[in-house]
A and B are shown apart, each in its own frame.
Chain A
Amino acid sequence: MARHVVAPVAEIPPGARKVIEAAGKRIVVFNLDGAFFALLDRCPHQGGPLSGGILCGLTQSEEPGTYRFSRAGEFIRCPWHQWEFDIRTGKSWFDPRRTKVRPFPARVEAGAALVEGPYTAETFPVRVEDSYVVVEA
């Protein structure tokens, strides 16, 4: 898998996302409180573009009439049929074993490490003093 420098870290603040194209695939990159995650931008159910969905959390219930909400912003909800996927794993909450979206490794790397090459971003300059989001795809 090739490494793709997709953005300066500051371009995707916490809670934001960016759609990129890498290795011929549309990939959506998320920032969850400083940690970066990348998923294929295609819902495994009917192909909806996940990047167009809203972020949501986990609503659970121990019994009818009581609700517990947690992990706010850590799930992406397909803009078509409302399938929910855990951004950290790509697994759907409803059917984690069979319905999952492909995750790609994503991490932050220092510009100093990147400029040494051969990893040079094509469309923006990589500067030693900044950090960048790198996706393997």
Chain B
Amino acid sequence: MNLVRPIAAPGRPAAATLGLVDCDIHPRVRDLGEFRPFLTEAAWHRLATYGIHARHGFAKGYPFPKAAPLACRRDAWPPGGGPPASDLPFLQAQLLDAYGMDVGVLNPLQPSGQGDVNDGLSVALASAVNEWQVEHWLRHEPRLRGSIVVPYEDGAASAEEIRRRAGDPRFCQVLLMSRTSEPLGRQRYWPIWQAAAEAGLPVGIHAFGYSGHAMTNGGWPSFYVEEVQEHATSAQAQVSSMVVEGIFERFPGLKVIMIECGFGWMPSLAWRLDATWKRLKDEVPHLKRAPSEVMREHVFVSTQPIEEPERPEHLLDAMEWIGWDRILFASDYPHWDFDDPRLAIPAFIPEEKRAAIYGGNARRLFGF
């Protein structure tokens, strides 16, 4: 028989059985005007008139165009208009409901005020983004949690912002970017670590950001393909700095999460640091324990993008080294390299370990 029927459902059944916690969702403003209620008139005037001042040489757009408009899934643009992840009902339907997620962590990226060269605007905008998370998202959807966005190049102002939000259980972590003006172990950032440790909040360090430096150690690359690989190297620089500068000796309760940085580099970095530390301990006498030990106590990683080696056992080895209790599921919704939770964690990973990655580890870390 002949059939012509409209499409009733998206064809992807809900999967409510995974106990999912998504540690990387990127909400976005429809337009800058959404921030206006949370800014002083002066700050709004500055933002509306002069805009964002990124710490790099391209004032508009991305230095490396990202394969799809706004780096997003093409099916994530809300039918009612606005950019992807700017519309709560559509995000609920396409992400939280579609996959049966229990909790989703918001990580607002640009425009967020983070790393803005204009220090005053950076402080004002970061704070406005936090208010915006509460008013536009957290107040309406209890499955979502916010990240405290801080003007991280200003340690004291960042600490103030963390303390302002610290008692609010709707915020579950502090958010930094992986590309900062100086390595994150440097003293100028210590107020951030101190405030986060005092508040008992983990610190998520998400790939990207504008440091003002070239994106790779060798200078500016030619292709987006290269930029994406750079997250592994900036993550290594940041973890080395935090470990070697003694951040985790100074703030023993502190936990950090390397988000969207991959994790295949973790064992190799630790081996190299350990080898050098054994020989040169007297250069860093404050570092009392082997770097590998510090990393395995304080550093968590997220899954997206997960490494895809030819031989599955290589991935298992890396995960085993990091620790099955330190790996958190992340979808990166609504970006084009989004991971479908039912397919992204390979089936060759034993089931109880997959369950820990899907949600158990995040529940323990964040106290959900």
Contacts and interface: CB of A to CB of B under 8 A. Distances in A.
B42 interface: no
Given A26-B7, A80-B338, A122-B4, A53 B74 contact: yes
A2 interface: yes
Contacts, number: 77
Contacts of A49: 10-11, 75
B343 A47 contact: yes
B124 to A, nearest CB: 36
Interface stretch (A16-24, A30-38, A92-100): A16-24
Contact of A121 (B4, B6, B67, B339): B4
A21 B2 contact: no
A119 B7 contact: no
B73 A79 contact: yes
B307 interface: no
Contact of B4 (A2, A6, A42, A114): A6
B347 interface: no
Interface residues on B, range: 20 to 34
A2 B1 contact: yes
Interface string B7-27: 110111000000000000000
A24 to B, nearest CB: 10
B280 interface: no
A20 B74 contact: no
Contacts of B1: 2, 118-120, 122
Given A46-B344, A47-B12, A80 B2 contact: no
B284 interface: no
Interface of A: 2-7, 19-23, 26, 41-42, 46-49, 52-54, 79-82, 114, 118-124
Given A21-B7, A46-B343, A120-B2, 13 more contacts: A5-B2, A21-B3, A47-B340, A48-B73, A53-B74, A80-B337, A80-B338, A81-B338, A120-B1, A121-B3, A121-B4, A122-B4, A124-B4
21 contacts: A4-B2, A19-B7, A21-B3, A21-B6, A22-B3, A23-B3, A41-B11, A42-B11, A46-B340, A48-B75, A49-B11, A52-B74, A54-B74, A79-B74, A80-B74, A80-B338, A82-B67, A82-B68, A120-B2, A121-B3, A121-B4
